[in-house]
Structure 1
Amino acid sequence: MTDAGERFGIIINDRVVKTPVVIASMAGIVDAAYVLARQAHAGLAFIGGYAIDAPTMAAAQEIASSGDRKEFLYNDPVPVLEKELAALASSDVVCGISLRGASPESFAAIARALGTKAVYEIDAHCRQAPMVAAGAGEYYLKNPDKLVPVIQALKAEGVTVSVKIRVGIAADDRALARTIWAAGADIIHVDLMDAGTAKLRQIRNSCPLIIIANNSITTFDKMRDMLSHGADLVSLARKSDNETLALLDTEIVKYADTDGWYNSPKQLCRGGDIRALTFCCMPVKECPLIPTLAKVGMTNEEYAKLKLNAVEGTPLAGGPHTCFGSLAWCCKTSSPCMFRDMTLAQEGLPKKEYMRLKRELSETIMGRIFHDVPSDRSS
């Protein structure tokens, strides 16, 4: 029986994530009890958002007093969060806490108090005016120079860091993704709004971080669309009911156990992200491969050498009857190809195993592309 580690290969905060289905935070709503009632079909959950310092706690009070939104209100966030984490300690759902703070020290103080029990998510997503005026939420998207020291302060405490963003707010979402990566974050949680998969693909092509896609992902078709354009996980907020979570979890398990690569990308020539370089053929004709290699700073010769070296000693090295003499250059199994399928049959290589090996090749290629963090990384 396939376990979650083998099926999805997602490790967050040193824990195996059982399914790429995530519960997103909703202020005043998502707490430990909310998660525990839905834990059967969630792999990761962010409780909160929680205001963690005087400016943001005052903003939360103001928001709640308007009567339009709920907020978690308290005098001291630490005992509240300790209680919530204790309630989730025995759950198999990896826990994250969504935090709203106005200074790096506010975040660092929470991390020092709570330790490595949870993923710390910086809420750079909230667009409520009092929170933005306090220097939190979307304020960080419009002032990424203020976001960087917050990420660094949390990483200095040795914790796993996620940053939740909303696309279309920063001047350049690709540059923002690189900034978040360079500052040391581990995860980008992306509310795509109405931007769709094109924006997701841009972010995937800009950084190697774990990506959680968010916004109205309530069907398996939408989930697969996000996963095939760069997401590692998908999250739900208002629709994080047991029925929807169960649907997504059940279908992605079925897909993974059949296909072998649960978030396999579309092929590059069909709009896929750069993970799809694993499916590309030799760079010998005019197609999206050539400009993509130029964008990632890799010559045609370097690309060819990288792929052939990466598959040496594996079943992908063979395939003399394929178009270019090796399965390294073959496409994904959803694309019809008699030469690939004939080779797989001759070698006794199941399509599921072929796709697993293609995923490993993709990870090698991504490691080469994102070997160095951006040159503007802060010290």
Structure 2
Amino acid sequence: MMDAFERFGLIINDHVVKTPVAIASMAGIVDARYVLERKNHIGAAFIGGYAIDRPTMDAAKEIAARGERKEFLYDDPIAALGAEIELLRDSGVVAGINLRGGSPEAFTAIADAFGDEVVYEVDAHCRQAPMIAAGAGEYYLKNPGALVAVVKALKAKNVTVSVKIRVGVSGDDQKLARALWGAGADILHVDLMDAGSAKLRQIRNSCPLMLIANNGITGFDRMREMLSHGADLVSLARQSDVGTLAGLDAAISRFADDEGWYNSPKQLCRGGDIRALTFCCMPVKECPLLPALKRIGMSKEEYVRMKMDAVKGTPLEAGPNTCFGSLAWCCKTSSPCMFRDMTLASDKLSKREYMRRKRELSDTLMTRVFHDVPSPESG
């Protein structure tokens, strides 16, 4: 039986994530006790949202008074959050706190209180009118400069930063993703609404941030769709019942143990994201590889050199009986290939180990593709 890191290779805030299943915040509902009831089947949880300054706390009271939805109400956010964080300390779940505030100072005050104990998630997601009027939630998607300022302020505190967004609200989700990457964000928690996996793929092709896909992910097929288009984790909110979480956790663990790469992308020619360069062959024919290289500003020669350098000294370097003389150019195990399989058998390399090595190659390629961090202003 593999341990969690060997199976998924996920680390958040210097903690191993035991499964790529997370709980997303729901105001007034998702707190530490909610998480603890589900801790056996999740790897991360974002409690909240929590209002952290006077304007957002007043907004929360207004929302609750209207009976529109539940909210967490308190007068001292530091005390309220401290009690929740304490309950989660030994849970085995990577803890994040989803925060609603209208200024960088509101967020850094929380970071000063709790340091690197938790992940700080900037709520740029809430669409309740009082929160937007208080300069929080979706206000940030319409005012990305203000969001960048919050992220930069939090990163100056040397903490792990997530940003929860809703796609289709900002003018350009890809540009926003790049701006948040440039500002220092670590995680992008994406509510896909009805946009589906194509939007997720676009964001993955824009930045190397850890991506959490959210909304409507209640079955394994939907989960794999998100993972194969760029997600590192998936999160559930309204349907985060124990049974659903347990089913997803068990299914993705089995898949990882069998396949070797739990979130392997579709091949580029079948709609895969940029990570799928690891499965692409030599650039010798008209295929989706060529426009993909053009989009990332890489020549054919650079691509060939980058890939061969990356596999040097690894089991993927060899492969004289394959189409291009190296397993570096071979496709995914889900695609039938007699020559690849003969080479794997000859080298005594299991398909699972082959996919694990392809993941390592993909990680190297991603590091090189996204080597130059953009300025947050340029996006």
Q: Gaps spanning 5+ residues in structure 2: where?
A: none
Q: How far apart, in 2, do the equivalents of 1:301 and 1:61 lie?
A: 60
Amino acid corresponding to residue 9 of structure 2 in structure 1: G
The residue aligned with 2:27 is 27
Deviation string 1:293-333 (CA, Å, 9 cap, x unpaired) is: 01011100000011111111111011111011100000000
Give the aligned CA root-mean-square deviation in angstroms.
0.8
Q: How far apart, in 2, do the equivalents of 1:375 and 1:236 lie?
A: 32
How far residue 367 of structure 1 moved from its aligned partner, in angstroms, is 0.6
Matches within 5 A, 1:295-306: 295-306=295-306
Matching of residue 63 in structure 1 with residue 75 in structure 2: no
Deviation string 1:196-233 (CA, Å, 9 cap, x unpaired) is: 01100000000000000001100000000000000000
How far residue 376 of structure 1 moved from its aligned partner, in angstroms, is 5.0
The residue aligned with 2:320 is 320
Matches within 5 A, 1:336-351: 336-351=336-351
How far residue 341 of structure 1 moved from its aligned partner, in angstroms, is 0.4
Q: How far apart, in 1, do the equivalents of 2:346 and 2:162 lie?
A: 45
Matches within 5 A, 1:32-181: 32-181=32-181
Q: How far apart, in 2, do the equivalents of 1:114 and 1:81 lie?
A: 9
Matches within 5 A, 1:199-348: 199-348=199-348
SS in 1 for 2:169: coil
Q: How far apart, in 1, do the equivalents of 2:66 and 2:333 lie?
A: 54
Q: How far apart, in 2, do the equivalents of 1:8 and 1:27 lie?
A: 29
Deviation string 1:56-89 (CA, Å, 9 cap, x unpaired) is: 0010011000112000000010011111011111
SS in 1 for 2:99: strand
Identity of aligned residues (%): 73
Tell me, yes or no, if the aligned pair for 2:183 and 2:376 is still in contact at 8 Å: no
How far residue 158 of structure 1 moved from its aligned partner, in angstroms, is 1.0
Tell me, yes or no, if the aligned pair for 2:211 and 2:231 is still in contact at 8 Å: yes
SS in 2 for 1:7: helix
Q: How far apart, in 2, do the equivalents of 1:239 and 1:207 lie?
A: 29
SS in 2 for 1:22: strand
SS in 1 for 2:116: helix
Tell me, yes or no, if the aligned pair for 2:320 and 2:326 is still in contact at 8 Å: yes
Q: What TM-score does the superposition give when structure 2 sets the normalisation length?
A: 0.99
Q: How far apart, in 1, do the equivalents of 2:185 and 2:102 lie?
A: 18
Amino acid corresponding to residue 341 of structure 2 in structure 1: D
How far residue 175 of structure 1 moved from its aligned partner, in angstroms, is 0.2
Q: How far apart, in 1, do the equivalents of 2:107 and 2:125 lie?
A: 16
Deviation string 1:77-118 (CA, Å, 9 cap, x unpaired) is: 001111101111111000000000000000000000111110
Q: How far apart, in 2, do the equivalents of 1:168 and 1:369 lie?
A: 26
SS in 2 for 1:298: coil
Q: How far apart, in 2, do the equivalents of 1:321 and 1:339 lie?
A: 6
List, as ranges, runs of 4+ consecutive aligned residues in structure 1 with deviation greater than 2 Å.
375-378
Tell me, yes or no, if the aligned pair for 2:154 and 2:161 is still in contact at 8 Å: yes
Q: How far apart, in 2, do the equivalents of 1:313 and 1:246 lie?
A: 40
Q: What TM-score does the superposition give when structure 1 sets the normalisation length?
A: 0.99
How far residue 375 of structure 1 moved from its aligned partner, in angstroms, is 4.2
The residue aligned with 2:182 is 182
Q: Gaps spanning 5+ residues in structure 1: where?
A: none
Tell me, yes or no, if the aligned pair for 2:228 and 2:264 is still in contact at 8 Å: yes
Amino acid corresponding to residue 154 of structure 1 in structure 2: L
Count of residues paired in the alignment: 378
Amino acid corresponding to residue 49 of structure 2 in structure 1: G
Q: How far apart, in 2, do the equivalents of 1:221 and 1:303 lie?
A: 32
How far residue 377 of structure 1 moved from its aligned partner, in angstroms, is 5.0
Matching of residue 357 in structure 1 with residue 336 in structure 2: no
Tell me, yes or no, if the aligned pair for 2:279 and 2:329 is still in contact at 8 Å: yes
1:48 to 1:376, Cα distance in 2 relative to 1, 3 A: closer
Deviation string 1:97-143 (CA, Å, 9 cap, x unpaired) is: 00000000000000001111100000000000000011000000010
Tell me, yes or no, if the aligned pair for 2:179 and 2:375 is still in contact at 8 Å: no
Q: How far apart, in 2, do the equivalents of 1:76 and 1:261 lie?
A: 44
